[in-house]
């Protein structure tokens, strides 16, 4: 019997862990694979909820932690730190494959380490657009990866435009859909009790920095908070990611502390967040959850500013400039008596984890050469 293939997953944020969790879980069921989990980034930061706790609750074996961030570090320095830490780690593991997700600097770091040390790198959800620096990191990560697991045919076509061979691209859908529509999601009563949320109705509020628009961030987040306060709606608000500019947002969010119609959290457990999103009146801000997950639940989105301006746009999404009057008009224009049922299938349906496993169990995938060539169209 052949030795199990060693698969290393990397996670640096609560969001990307939600994306890869179903993939990790399905590998646990198959003796052909041993998986290892490298945990870094926001997971180890107290200020953002120390979400390593959520990973530890899963009971996974082979979990390694690495603190890649310092108080003064800019994103480029954090990238360098992650490269150094991950390189030392995989040198000991000697994996058959590295699996990374999305557009964060931790994924870019892992793709650099893998490609420069002849480890196969598999990238989840490449080929997508956002219009911000995240897009640059996503596409750079794809070019440093050997195998691609994408959400839809549009993403596959973009990767082919970037010179990737079609046989290296596998359309499996978005892995978080397996979690979103799992029968194991907690019910709303359990979630409200866990987080002491007493609202009859509420919206989700999430606002992240745009690293290429830092000069206007302070004014934008002030406008955003002003509008939410003026709306007199109930909000479950979550801290931003830790990109450059996050400190500006965190400072402004402190204005809602003590307000009866706000509950402010550094982080939320992924499955619990999904239950809250599923039951929300709407989601407001500039999170990808508004343009990716919310439409699948039929939850309206007020998408503010430019952070998601190149992402998918379902009928349930209302784009809005960061202007107090416009934001309030958008909030008041929502018809709460009618949840929008959506037939959105843009990011696939459930079953991504099973497709992922089937690809990894094929002989072809392990014949992929670490020496990449550009495929001219």
Q: What is the pLDDT of residues 31-68, one digit of tens each?
A: 999 999 999 999 999 989 999 999 999 999 999 999 99
Could you tell me if residue 308 is inside a domain?
Answer: yes
42 in Cβ contact with 78 (< 8 Å): no
pLDDT of residue 69: 86
Could you tell me if residue 339 is inside a domain?
Answer: no
Q: Write out the residue range of the structural domain in which residue 264 sits.
A: 188-333
Mean per-residue pLDDT of the chain:
93
Predicted confidence (pLDDT) at residue 338 exceeds the cutoff of 80: no
Could you tell me if residue 338 is inside a domain?
Answer: no
Taking residue 313's Cβ as centre, other Cβ atoms within 10 Å add up to: 16
5 in Cβ contact with 97 (< 8 Å): yes
Phi then psi for residue 98, to 5 deg, are -110, 130
Task: Report the distance separating Cα 35 and Cα 14, nearest Å.
Answer: 19
**What are the tokens at 217?**
């961030």
What residues have CB less than 8 Å from 237, skipping those under 6 apart? Answer: 204, 205, 206, 228, 253, 256, 262, 263, 264, 265
Examine the domain organization and report whether 207 and 95 are in the same domain: no
Could you tell me if residue 114 is inside a domain?
Answer: yes
Examine the domain organization and report whether 145 and 251 are in the same domain: no
Examine the domain organization and report whether 83 and 209 are in the same domain: no
At 145-199, the pLDDT tens digits run 999 999 999 999 999 999 999 999 999 999 999 999 999 999 999 999 999 999 9
Overall size of the chain counted in residues: 377
Mean pLDDT of the region 114-142 = 92
DSSP string, 121-185: EEEES-S---SSHHHHHHHHHHHT-SEEEESSHHHHHHHHHTT--GGGEEE---THHHHHT-TTP
Question: What CATH number should be reported for the domain holding residue 220?
Answer: 3.40.50.2000
Examine the domain organization and report whether 161 and 278 are in the same domain: no
Examine the domain organization and report whether 218 and 357 are in the same domain: no
Examine the domain organization and report whether 125 and 253 are in the same domain: no
Task: Report the distance separating Cα 315 and Cα 341, nearest Å.
Answer: 10
DSSP string, 101-115: ETTSHHHHHHHHHHH
Give percent of the chain above pLDDT 90.
82
**Exposed (0-12), middle (13-18) or buried (19+): which is 154, by Cβ within 10 Å?**
middle
Examine the domain organization and report whether 163 and 272 are in the same domain: no
Could you tell me if residue 39 is inside a domain?
Answer: yes
Could you tell me if residue 324 is inside a domain?
Answer: yes
Could you tell me if residue 372 is inside a domain?
Answer: no
Examine the domain organization and report whether 151 and 21 are in the same domain: yes
> What pTM was estimated for this model as a whole?
0.91
Could you tell me if residue 373 is inside a domain?
Answer: no
Query: How many structural domains comprise the chain?
Result: 2
């Amino acid at each position: 019997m052949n030795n199990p293939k060693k698969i290393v997953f990397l996670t640096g944020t609560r969001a990307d862990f939600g994306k890869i969790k179903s993939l990790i879980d399905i590998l646990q069921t198959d003796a052909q694979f041993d998986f290892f989990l490298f945990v870094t980034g926001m997971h180890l930061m107290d200020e953002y909820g120390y979400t390593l706790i959520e990973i530890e609750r899963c009971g996974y074996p082979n979990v390694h932690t690495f603190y890649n961030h310092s108080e003064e570090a800019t994103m480029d320095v954090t990238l360098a730190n992650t490269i150094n830490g991950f390189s030392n780690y995989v040198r000991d593991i000697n994996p058959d494959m590295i699996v990374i997700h999305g557009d964060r600097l931790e994924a870019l770091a892992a793709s650099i380490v893998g490609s420069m040390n002849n480890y196969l790198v598999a990238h989840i959800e490449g080929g997508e657009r956002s219009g911000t620096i995240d897009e640059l990191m996503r596409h750079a990560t794809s070019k440093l990866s050997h195998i691609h697991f994408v959400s839809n045919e549009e993403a596959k076509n973009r990767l082919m435009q970037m010179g990737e061979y079609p046989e290296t691209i596998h359309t499996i859908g978005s892995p978080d859909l397996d979690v979103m529509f799992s029968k194991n999601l907690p019910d709303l009563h359990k979630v409200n009790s866990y987080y002491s949320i007493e609202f009859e109705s509420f919206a989700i509020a999430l606002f992240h920095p745009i690293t290429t628009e830092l000069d206007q961030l302070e004014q934008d987040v002030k406008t955003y908070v002003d509008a939410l306060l003026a709306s007199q709606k109930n909000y479950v608000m979550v801290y931003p990611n830790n990109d450059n500019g996050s400190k500006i947002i965190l400072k402004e969010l402190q204005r809602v502390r003590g307000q009866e119609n706000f509950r402010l959290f550094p982080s939320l457990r992924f499955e619990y967040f999904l239950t809250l999103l599923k039951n929300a009146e709407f989601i407001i801000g500039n999170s990808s959850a508004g343009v990716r997950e919310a439409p699948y639940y039929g939850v309206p989105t007020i998408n503010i500013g430019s952070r998601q301006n190149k992402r998918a746009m379902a009928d349930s999404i209302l784009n809005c400039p960061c202007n107090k009057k416009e934001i309030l008009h958008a909030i008041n224009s929502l018809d709460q008596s009618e949840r929008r049922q959506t037939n959105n299938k843009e990011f696939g349906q459930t079953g991504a984890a099973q497709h992922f496993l089937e690809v990894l169990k094929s002989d072809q995938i392990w014949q992929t050469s670490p020496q990449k060539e550009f495929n001219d169209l």
